[in-house]
Homo-oligomer: A and B are copies of this chain.
């Protein structure tokens, strides 16, 4: 399960990316602020680089200009010969691959933390492609221990055999930090402060690791994506119902067969017909309507994470 190598040396090249989705305002505003005041991202052993991942989308306050940048870091796009009519985000993915990669190579950044917001009631969610990265699992554990009063979850999105496609997959290690609920195009002070604190704690964790701290083995609880569930729609594709009030805002809570998931405009309820209990996430996320996703069903996992040894001293 742990195919990614544990870092053998200190992490020196660290990036924090915002505006990967241009209307997710906590990360957009934080990165804009850090570009004016980079000292906040400094630690004794490294300085993290603030990166405005999708400046055109941020300027337009849209998720993307031509296509979703956070699905664009795939070999088809990264290795193809550039064309004049390439979508903006394909060009931008190649630029970021040059800046932070080449993707997951030994020359890539040591850690990429990518900042997101969701309209779903997800609280603080640490998004990893899978559980194979011991370093990132320990980071998630550290963030949970530092914030005992905050609801936070670890979410594993990548299907087996699926190619990674997100900004943070450029780094040798990486993670998405998702905070919600926040409307697209809105900056809430409470989530801004929460994200700022979580980023600072991430840098603190890297600093602790760089200084030779070891972290003991533990058991991780996480949620792994199973299926996408679309809204009920008419033949023309228009919505025919909404997320049921009894499901709305209940991200990461158990959904059992027979419980309602949609309320049709005609009045009746649509019940969940799956074979067993699942844990819905990204319930009613604005950006997922166009992807045909009303929510993603996930399973809850518990698995052991081995100890994180101290890195070898810097050469």
Asked whether B29 lies within 8 Å of A239 as measured between CB atoms, the reply is yes
For the complex formed, measure the closest distance between the CB of A106 and the CB atoms of chain B, giving whole angstroms.
36
A248 pairs with B184, CB closer than 8 A: no
Query: Is A33's CB under 8 angstroms from B185's CB?
Result: no
Assess whether A244 is in contact with B185, with CB atoms less than 8 Å apart. Answer: no
CB distance from A191 to the nearest CB of B (A): 9
Q: Are B33 and A265 touching (Cβ within 8 A)?
A: yes
Chain A, residues 233-249, CB within 8 Å of chain B (1/0): the string is 01000111011110010
A263 on the B face (CB < 8 A): yes
Interface size of A in residues (CB-CB distance below 8 Å): 36
State the Cβ distance, A27 to closest chain B Cβ, in Å: 12
Inter-chain contact A289/B61, CB cutoff 8 Å: yes
- Distance, CA A245 to CA B192, complexed state (A): 11
With a cutoff of 8 Å between Cβ atoms, the chain B residues found around residue A289 in the complex are 61, 185
| A311 contacts partner chain B, Cβ-Cβ < 8 Å | no
- Distance from A180 Cβ to chain B, minimum over Cβ atoms (Å): 10
User: Inside 8 A of A238's CB, which chain B residues have their CB?
Assistant: 29, 32
| Interface residue from B187, B192, B263 paired with A189 (Cβ < 8 Å) | B263
Q: Could you give, for residues 96-128 of chain A, a 1 whenever the CB lies within 8 Å of some chain B CB and a 0 otherwise?
A: 000000000000000000000001000000000
B contact residues around A29 at 8 Å (CB): 238-239, 242, 265
Bound Cα distance from A253 to B206, whole angstroms: 44
Which residues from chain B contact A243 at a C-beta distance below 8 Å?
187-189
Determine which of B187, B263, B286, B290 lies in contact with A186 in the assembled complex, contact meaning CB atoms within 8 Å.
B286
Nearest Cβ in chain B — how far from A269, in angstroms?
10
Contact A187 B36 (CB under 8 A): no
Instruction: Tell which of B183, B189, B285, B287 touches A286, judged by Cβ atoms closer than 8 Å.
Output: B183
Q: Is the CB of B189 within 8 A of A244?
A: yes
- Set of chain B residues within 8 Å of A183, measured between Cβ atoms: 119, 181-184, 186, 286
Closest to A118 in B: B183
A130 interface residue per 8 A CB criterion: no
**Of B188, B248, B263, which is within 8 A of A248 by CB?**
B188
Is B187 touching A239 in the complex (CB atoms < 8 A)?
yes
Q: Identify 13 residue pairs between A and B in the complex whose beta-carbon atoms are under 8 Å apart, listed by A's number.
A: A29-B239, A29-B242, A29-B265, A32-B238, A32-B239, A183-B183, A185-B286, A186-B284, A186-B286, A188-B242, A189-B243, A189-B244, A192-B265
A contacts, CB < 8 Å to B: 29, 32-33, 36-37, 61, 119, 181-190, 192, 234, 238-240, 242-245, 248, 263, 265-266, 284-287, 289-290
The 7 closest A-B pairs by CB, nearest first: A183-B183, A185-B286, A189-B242, A119-B183, A33-B265, A186-B286, A32-B238
Known: A119-B185, A183-B184. 7 other contacts (CB 8 A): A183-B186, A183-B286, A185-B287, A187-B284, A189-B242, A189-B263, A192-B265
